[in-house]
């Protein structure tokens, strides 16, 4: 990377960041200005205390974050070539795991943890996520500088062995008086986390963690329900979300995650060309984890059973013949656009055959798909950009049909502010009985946390605390 010169567009940045390749924050964020005309169901109102806490957070981020004087001297990139005590600034670095939906949920949970513990959130987006979001915090950046120590080791076994809190607990039991005096710890909350890693969610361990200035947190899930189950955070959380715990992700996700100008251009071009004119937009998200175990006809049967019995869509055309009565019903419906989001093109083709193409003129139903990537890729920026585009296009829907267990669907519904119909996609481990309904309406907008520790379950179950069971994952927890 070239050294900054007077005429360089990044010359206003400290030299170190120019050298390390940290980009200056985007100046404008078009999606933040324009999204209210696309996300029709978003509630822009934030409770006053949450708003003041976010403003306080923004000031802290500016004071401590990577573009600040303070970061230059107290971060490990500064004069000490080591992790210093951070001055009066403490940090949590989010390191992503798994697909985009998982990452967004882990990131949002980490941000709430930062709010609750007066930390600054930095993100380790490698090249495959760099271009997806606008900078969320004014006059600063949340991107971890490229030359941050250990950055390439964050995901490695040795780093976890030496720095993870779980391993530390496994080896010996630290308490506030422990001789352990590192200034950096990894918090490992990936779905493969150990019983020791889970002890992060125990109140008695937060006092120790509070003193560590640098936490590197890896997570692929929405662990916010577990924060609500901790006495340490409960009263502050009640203040932050006083009336409605069921919009926590909706509020935080929309605050934090605005599509970058590049992503916004893709989203709005597709929306304006195909979805804008319909009187009703229906998003159908189809996620099949094991296509061999759950073939297309089985999935289609569940989807159609849901959309027909819940009167989301008219009775589908199963043959080339259409009855006169069907035609009349369809003609009287509002004009609809159906957006099919799926890795596969087959579902789009099936739904288009049933509702679209030849019927478009007479029935006002049009079926679209924005991408069909075939399979999940990793480390691919353009693939993640398409995933983000699909999530956001789904979020413009008036009615959402999502797939069980899918974080992709949770994020779309949460951003949208639309309670989804969750279709139960069967597989050999989760068979569906003939009498079970094909889908359930989510009780609220909250995502499910798929891997809570046993001690976070409400005891006794269903007694009115902040968390309850998920509609689609019997062992999962969600805010209720
Ligand atoms: P989950 O696995 O359903 O919980 O969702 P994730 O988003 O965490 O991981 C699935 C990944 O597969 C996504 O991030 C995308 O990379 C890809 N993917 C799955 N479904 C879709 C889809 O409908 N559209 C696009 N563009 N990508 C998808």
Q: Is 4 domain-assigned?
A: no
* Per-residue model confidence (pLDDT) at position 327: 58
Instruction: Provide, rounded to the nearest whole percent, the portion of the chain with pLDDT above 70.
Output: 85
Of the ranges 104-108, 296-300, 314-318, which one carries the lowest mean pLDDT score?
Answer: 314-318
Distance CA 164, CA 44 (A): 38
Nearest CA to ligand 1 atom 8: 99
Q: 410 alpha carbon to ligand 1 midpoint, in Å?
A: 11
Report the alpha-carbon distance of residue 392 to residue 339 in Å, rounded: 11
Domain boundary among 246, 278, 313: 246
100 pocket-lining for ligand 1 (C-beta < 6 Å)? yes
Residues 422 and 285 in one domain: yes
367 plus 443 within the same structural domain: yes
Residue-number span of the structural domain to which 52 is assigned: 46-246
Ligand 1 touching residue 369 (CB < 6 A): no
- Residue 311 maps to which CATH number? 3.40.50.11350
User: In terms of pLDDT, which residue wins out, 23 or 291?
Assistant: 291
Residue 462 is assigned to a structural domain of this protein: no
Q: Is residue 298 included in any domain, yes or no?
A: yes
Residues 140 and 220 in one domain: yes
CB atoms within 10 A of CB 265: 14
**What is residue 427's predicted lDDT score, i.e. its pLDDT?**
82
pLDDT digits (tens, 9 = 90+) for 79-122: 444 555 657 899 999 999 999 999 999 999 999 999 999 999 99
- Shortest-distance atom of ligand 1 to CA 389: 26
- Point out which residues pair with 184 in neighbouring strands: 214
Comparing 20 with 410, the larger pLDDT belongs to 410
Question: Has residue 99 been placed in a domain?
Answer: yes
Q: Is 408 in the pocket of ligand 1 (CB under 6 A)?
A: yes
Query: pTM for the complete prediction?
Result: 0.91
Assigned domain for 14 exists: no
Domain co-membership, 155 together with 301: no
The radius of gyration computed from the CA coordinates of the chain, to the nearest angstrom, equals 24
Would 20 be classed as within a structural domain? no
Query: Is residue 13 a contact partner of residue 2, using CB atoms and an 8 Å limit?
Result: no
If asked whether residues 229 and 295 sit together in one domain, one would say no
How far apart are the CA of 101 and the centre of ligand 1, in A?
A: 7
Ligand 1 contact, 390 CB (< 6 A): yes
303 and 352 assigned to the same domain: yes
Q: Which of 408, 414, 451 to mutate to test the pocket of ligand 1 (most atoms within 8 A of CB)?
A: 408
Last residue of a domain, one of 222, 246, 270: 246
Tell me: do 212 and 105 sit in the same domain.
yes
**Looking at the 3D structure of the chain, how many domains does it have?**
2
ipTM over 0.95: yes
Is residue 477 assigned to a domain?
Answer: no
Domain-terminating residue out of 218, 246, 274: 246
């Amino acid at each position: 990377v070239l050294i900054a010169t007077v005429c360089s567009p990044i010359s206003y940045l400290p030299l170190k960041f120019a050298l390390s390749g940290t980009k200056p924050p985007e100046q404008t964020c078009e999606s933040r200005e324009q999204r209210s005309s696309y996300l029709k169901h978003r509630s822009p109102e934030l409770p006053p205390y949450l708003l003041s806490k976010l403003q306080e957070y923004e000031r802290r981020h500016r004071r401590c974050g990577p573009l600040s004087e303070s970061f230059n001297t107290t971060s490990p990139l500064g004069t000490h070539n080591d992790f210093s005590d951070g001055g009066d600034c403490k940090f949590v670095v989010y390191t992503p795991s798994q697909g985009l939906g998982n990452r967004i949920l882990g990131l949002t949970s980490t941000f709430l943890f930062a709010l609750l513990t007066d930390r600054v959130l930095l993100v380790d987006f490698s090249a495959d996520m760099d271009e997806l979001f606008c900078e969320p915090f004014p006059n600063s950046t949340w991107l971890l500088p490229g030359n941050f120590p250990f950055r390439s080791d964050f995901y490695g076994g040795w780093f976890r062995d030496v720095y993870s809190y779980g391993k530390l607990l496994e080896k010996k039991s630290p308490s506030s008086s422990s001789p352990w005096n590192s200034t950096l710890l990894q918090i490992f909350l990936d779905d493969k986390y150990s019983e020791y890693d889970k002890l992060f969610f125990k109140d008695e361990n937060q006092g120790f963690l509070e003193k560590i200035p640098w936490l590197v947190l890896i997570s692929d899930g929405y662990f916010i329900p577990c924060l609500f189950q901790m006495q340490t955070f409960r009263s502050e959380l009640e203040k932050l979300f006083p009336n409605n715990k069921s919009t926590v992700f909706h509020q935080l996700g929309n605050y934090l995650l605005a599509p970058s100008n590049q992503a916004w251009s893709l989203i709005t071009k597709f929306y304006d060309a195909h979805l804008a004119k319909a009187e009703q937009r229906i998003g159908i998200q189809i996620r099949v984890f094991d296509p061999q175990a759950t073939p297309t006809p089985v999935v289609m049967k569940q989807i159609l059973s849901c959309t027909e019995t819940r009167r989301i869509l008219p009775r589908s055309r199963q043959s080339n013949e259409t009855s006169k009565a069907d035609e009349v019903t369809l003609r009287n419906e509002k004009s609809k656009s159906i957006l099919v989001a799926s890795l596969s093109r087959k579902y789009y083709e099936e739904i288009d055959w049933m509702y679209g193409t030849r019927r478009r003129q007479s029935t006002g139903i049009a079926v679209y798909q924005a991408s069909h990537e075939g399979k999940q890729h990793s480390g691919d920026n353009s693939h993640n950009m398409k995933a983000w585009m699909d999530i956001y296009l789904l979020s413009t829907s008036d009615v959402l049909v999502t797939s069980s267990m899918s974080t992709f669907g949770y994020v779309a519904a949460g951003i949208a502010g639309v309670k989804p119909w969750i279709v139960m996609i069967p597989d050999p481990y989760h068979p569906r009985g003939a009498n079970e309904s094909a889908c359930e309406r989510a009780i609220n907008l909250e995502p499910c946390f798929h891997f809570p520790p046993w001690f976070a379950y409400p005891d006794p179950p269903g007694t009115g605390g902040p968390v309850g069971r998920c509609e689609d994952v019997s062992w999962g927890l969600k805010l209720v």
